[in-house]
Amino acid sequence: MYRSTNPATGIVEAEFPTLSREEIVGAAEKSALAYRSWQRVSLQDRAQTLLRAAAAFEERADEFAEIITREMGKPISQSKGELFLVASICRYYGENAHELLADEKLNPASGDTALVRTSPIGPVLGIMPWNFPFYQVARFAIPNLLLGNTILLKHASNCPQSALAFEQVLHAAGVPTDAYINLLASSRDIAALIASPHVQGVSLTGSEKAGAAVAEEAGKHLKKVVLELGGSDPLLVLDGENLARTVKSALRGRFANAGQACIASKRIIVLDETYEEFSESFAQAVSSMTYGDPLDPTTFLGPLYSADAKTEILEVVQDALNQGAELLVGQHSVQDPHAFMAPMVLVGVTPGMRAFREEIFGPVAVLLRAEDTEHAIELANDSDYGLGAAVFSSDTEQANAVADRLEAGMVVINGVAGSQADLPFGGTKRSGFGRELGAYGIDEFSNKKLIRIPA
């Protein structure tokens, strides 16, 4: 079953049966048939469809935000922000369609007339997580729909109402029923879907384990795959200038969405000369944070998406404490109800601990002390992940030099990582491969077709 369980109360609010394997494989056939006609719809008409979807996401933001909050616990103000980000993605691709898909003229030495045309490839499968249940889908699906691909979407089993709402908006905006198919599918049936000769590519946002399994299946069948597998993003504080701004940014970067973001600032690395001042100010700010009702517009910190997630996080924290780390903030109370969890700041964490190596997907900040800039870079890069990073410094030249040496797909200077429709999103190392959004979101599942006329 797909279940909507309100993490703030633990109450199951809706249930939906999963599809049979035959229905899932049949959906791939329908998607392939729809592709024949969807790719022939004019680019202008596809763009207008996305613009209508953008308007619908904005107009119904309050309605959809409540669905997000009830299904995975995100504070309602942040849920609304997610909806407006989704609308901006639809609008960006709708308004820039012709520029994004314009032919690229080449000048070969032979004197031939040559160009590269960006063409669709067919049905593509998206396997999406729960933490941004509308945005993650938009990031994958919208550029591919503009290109002319058709979409099969397998969403997380705890946010079926978000998945159904997204599908309803697209169909109402003009995307044909079989050009975007939401699949309430069991994970055990995904291999059969990837194996379908109709599916031409797979995009997954999720865990390393899930990414490895999907990549293996895709490789068996020679399917293109894009993976975004999370991270343990460093935030480097290189001096004490503008400290209040830096602390505020670090709070937002670590604790928005209860820390359940792949690009959250999970490891905060502070130079020795600034460490005491920063840690005191940061700890005070975190101590003043309290969780609250996610449906209250004033709440910043809501529950985790499930009580089980809290248990997993506390196991990682306890492992660090057992090895000598300390809690600067957050002596956890077992009385925290349901999926709520008090924010924590861990200090004294060393590279041998799980808290240093693993992605902590919740409201726990790891605060690390660096001897100097070289040591800060060393700590930042001492990770299997490489998604995003942040560098705070009053010296822009220094910040740029440090950013250049960080092993990450995205680096923000004097700000924290985020997402924007016209900028590429993706990582390196075990954070996955491939890029989404911007022109890059069009290119991943496209045929860069060469058309050549000899001189």
Residues recognised as catalytic: 228, 262
Residue 53 neighbours by CB under 8 Å, 6+ apart: 90, 142, 169, 170, 173, 175
Q: Is the dihedral of CA 199, 204, 208, 209 positive or negative?
A: negative
The distance from CA 415 to its chain's CA centroid, rounded to whole angstroms, is 18
Amino acid at site 281: S
Residue listed under structure tokens 């590429």: 424
b/e code 169-203 from CB counts within 10 Å (16+ = b): bbeebbbeebbbbbbbbbeebbeebbebebbbbbb
Q: Answer yes or no: are the C-beta atoms of 380 and 360 closer than 8 Å.
A: no
Question: H/E/C letters for each residue in the chain?
Answer: CEEEEECCCCEEEEEECCCCHHHHHHHHHHHHHHHHHHCCCCHHHHHHHHHHHHHHHHHCHHHHHHHHHHHHCCCHHHHHHHHHHHHHHHHHHHHCHHHHCCCEEECCCCCCEEEEEEEECCEEEEECCCCCCCHHHHHHHHHHHHHCCEEEEECCCCCHHHHHHHHHHHHHHCCCHHHEEEECCCHHHHHHHHHCCCCCEEEEECCHHHHHHHHHHHHHCCCEEEEECCCCEEEEECCCCCHHHHHHHHHHHHHHHHHCCCCCEEEEEEEHHHHHHHHHHHHHHHHCCCECCCCCCCCCECCCCCHHHHHHHHHHHHHHHHCCCEEEECCCCCCCCCCCCCCEEEECCCCCCHHHHCCCCCCEEEEEEECCHHHHHHHHHCCCEECEEEEECCCHHHHHHHHHHCCCCEEEECCCCCCCCCCCECCEECCEECCECCCHHHHCCEEEEEEEECC
Distance between CA atoms of residues 94 and 50, nearest Å: 5
